[in-house]
Amino acid sequence: MLAYLYNFHVYLFNRGFRFADRAHDLHLKQHRDRKMKVQRLNVIREVLTASHVASQDELRRKLRRRGIHVTQATLSRDIHELRLSKGPGGYSLPNGNGTVQAAAEDDLPPSLKEMISSFGLRVRQAMNQVVVSTVLGGAQPVAAALDREEWPEVVGTIAGDDTVLVICQDARRAGEVESRLTTMLEA
């Protein structure tokens, strides 16, 4: 019995080392993959800065010439992650020239006025609440834009698919909010 337990212990001990080795190997592979991805994204930026690229296949060929072999699926994910846009002139980095200031300006969320004019249909007051009717799927962005405004009259918002409920402190303030939103909607 003691010999069996000893053999079982040795088996588990050795097996534990194999699992530890596998975990270490996995960690090294993940680190190497992250490093390769960062390198690949930098090369894509360099290629787009230096030359015109009309298609994914052309970009893949240019990467291959630089020693980076990538599948179409991986390249598609990289294009999405880099937020590249494709126009008549081919692929380009965000903001064309890739300046940090222009990128920061583009990353700003749309204003409430833009959201209301794009998605808003009707604004109505009900006691200390204002109901904003939107196109289907427009309520969430409108509520988020309203929350970003941080109007002191607004206690909070609740958004469904096509309706935003704006809760105000009292009926007078709800009237002010309704008036401001209606003005934006009609502009």
Q: Residues 121, 135: contact at Cβ < 8 Å? A: yes
Q: Which two tokens stand for residue 117?
A: 């004019």
- Give the Cα separation of 149 and 110 in Å (integer): 11
Residue 109 vs residue 43, higher pLDDT: 43
Average pLDDT of every residue of the chain = 81
For 95: left if phi > 0, alpha if psi spans -120 to 50, otherwise beta; the answer is left
Q: Does position 13 have pLDDT exceeding 60, yes or no? A: no
At 118-151, the pLDDT tens digits run 889 999 999 999 999 999 988 999 999 999 999 9
Residues 154 and 172 in one domain: yes
Place of tokens 């992650």: 81
Question: Structural domain tally of the chain?
Answer: 2
CATH classification of the domain holding 162: 3.30.1360.40
Q: Supply the pLDDT for residue 152.
A: 93
Overall pTM surpassing 0.85 (yes/no): no
Residue 16 vs residue 114, higher pLDDT: 114
Structural element, H or E, at residue 29: helix 2-50
CATH classification of the domain holding 37: 1.10.10.10
Q: Which among 168, 184, 163, 155 is positioned nearest to 126, based on CA atoms?
A: 168
The one-character DSSP state at 83 is T
Tell me the residue range of the domain where 38 lies: 2-105
